């Protein structure tokens, strides 16, 4: 059963790279293009994390970075297995309330990488009861992993090399190049009419790192 997800405390930033890291990736030695870099990093970061198919509350942009979340399950039957939290990479369980009764740490078991959440009884796996289960937890990376930074740097280099090495307004992170003679000819890193939004090299890195969710409805 899919819970109702609420983002209790959003991540302080969605950027996968700092401006300094973006400068270093492009070999820039001054801050003259920092405004362009900030826009590019923000848009690339948003596109990468959206493509990871993360669960969202519909109001807050999805992120792989650490934030506090609340999952509310309303169970009409006793599930045979564990509950599945909306986000993986769980670093803390703040509270669990079962039918208005708070549970203690001995009452449950979390598998942090998968987000599988078991009910315990006498230190043995049990079934969750009918009713309302509310779980507040922290999930996501406190520090952006290097392979995720590499994916963002790879896309940034592609964009900068082919479109933004001279001052320009960065408007479309999918746009590879455009010409004026004839009037205007544009090419994209990916076909904008298709569902795929990532360059193949970036998607391969995200798949290899296990960042793209396949079980989120």
Report pLDDT for 167.
Answer: 44
Mean pLDDT value across the chain: 87
Which residues does 175 contact at the CB level (< 8 Å), separation at least 6? Answer: 159, 163, 186, 187, 188, 189
Domain residue limits, the chain: 4-62+143-208, 67-139
CA angle 39, 43, 44 (to 5 degrees): 115
Q: Please name every residue paired with 124 in a beta bridge, in sequence order, or none if there are none.
A: 121
Residue 77: per-residue pLDDT: 86
Whether the pLDDT of residue 184 is over 60: the answer is no
């Amino acid at each position: 059963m899919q819970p109702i997800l609420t983002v209790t405390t959003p991540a302080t930033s969605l950027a996968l790279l700092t401006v300094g890291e973006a400068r270093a990736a492009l070999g820039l030695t001054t801050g003259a293009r920092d405004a362009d870099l900030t826009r590019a990093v923000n848009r690339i970061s948003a596109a990468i994390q959206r493509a990871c198919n993360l669960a969202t509350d519909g109001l807050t942009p999805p992120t792989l970075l650490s934030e506090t979340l609340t999952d509310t399950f309303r169970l009409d039957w006793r599930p045979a297995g564990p509950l599945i939290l909306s986000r993986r990479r769980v670093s803390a369980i703040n509270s669990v309330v079962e039918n208005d009764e708070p549970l203690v740490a001995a009452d449950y078991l979390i598998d942090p990488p998968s987000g599988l959440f078991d009910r315990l009884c006498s230190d043995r796996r049990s079934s969750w009861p009918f009713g309302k289960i509310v779980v507040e937890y922290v999930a996501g990376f406190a520090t952006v992993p290097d392979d995720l930074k590499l994916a963002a740097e790879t896309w940034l280099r592609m964009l900068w090399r082919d479109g933004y090495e001279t001052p320009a307004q960065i408007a479309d992170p999918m746009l590879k190049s455009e010409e004026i003679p004839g009037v205007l000819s544009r090419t994209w890193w990916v076909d904008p009419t298709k569902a795929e939004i990532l360059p193949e090299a970036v998607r391969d890195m995200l798949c290899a790192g296990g960042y793209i969710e396949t079980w989120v409805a």
